[in-house]
Amino acid sequence: MSAALVTGASRGIGRGIAIALAGAGFDVVVNYASNLAAAEDTAKEIEKLGARAVLVRADVGDAEDRARLVHEAHEAFGTLDLLVNNAGVAPSVRADLLEATEESFDRLVGINLKGPYFLTQQVARRMVDAGTAGKIVTISSMSAYTASVNRGDYCVTKAGLGMMTKLFAARLAEHGITVFEVRPGIIATDMTGAVQAKYDKLILSDGITPIRRWGTPGDVGRAVVAIATDLLPFSTGQVIDVDGGFHLRTL
């Protein structure tokens, strides 16, 4: 079987991706930062589908943890065919742009942008050395282009992931490694549960998305599977919007 590393795979979008990949024939390294019980639940779902799951606790914002994560992933499966950069955090406090702190900015940049950047570098080096025609997928957000003035640090990190995708796509194409950005919209997870009533109105009544329903982690997982199973062999550096059409400009 092929092997994938999914960061932040214990819950939400990451769990949806990990389970979808298992259904497509991938063994999965389930990376998590702190919630062991949730990671174990993800592993059980993966194993129900006949795939193997290996749990690795690591903070992608920490250099030593990143190195250990890559090492343990290769120790588990011998190789990696797919990296999915999914782990990320929201600001602890949604602060107005004129009040936001450097502490929050540094935290988000470290986890959401610096972490995936250098994790991708490490995995890509291994793929190149092994001659693996692998794939790298980064999960960003509609916040990459949608300005939210009460969480500017989050938006900046997601926009940065877009350029990261282009850079690695350009650099790795000669090695047969393709790189994609998957950009979710409003997805039903525990992270968005606190604003459910707000988005119910925006989606169902106001029609903020042409497809009038919440997205699911499974929707994102299917997009990743399409890439992972080589359904886009002549594409790289592309953005795949999984947002119900939010990105469309309509009159």
3-state percent breakdown (helix, strand, coil) of the chain, nearest 5: 50, 15, 35
CB 180 within 8 A of CB 165: yes
Cβ–Cβ under 8 Å, residues 1 and 52: yes
Q: In what order do the strands lie in the sheet with 26-32?
A: 53-57, 26-32, 2-6, 82-85, 135-139, 178-184, 238-242
Alpha carbons 14 and 64: distance in angstroms, whole number? 22
Q: What is the dihedral of CA 125, 19, 72, 229, to 10 degrees?
A: -30
67 and 60 Cβ atoms separated by less than 8 Å: no
Among candidate residues 86, 87, 102, 85, the one with its CA nearest the CA of residue 153: 102
DSSP-derived 3-state class of residue 237: coil
Catalytic residue among 32, 117, 145, 154: 154
Give the span between the Cα atoms of 139 and 179, in whole angstroms.
11
Residue 142 and residue 144: Cα distance in Å, rounded?
Answer: 5
> Does the annotation mark 145 as catalytic?
no
In sequence order, what are the beta bridge partners of 136? 83, 179
- The catalytic site residues sit at 154
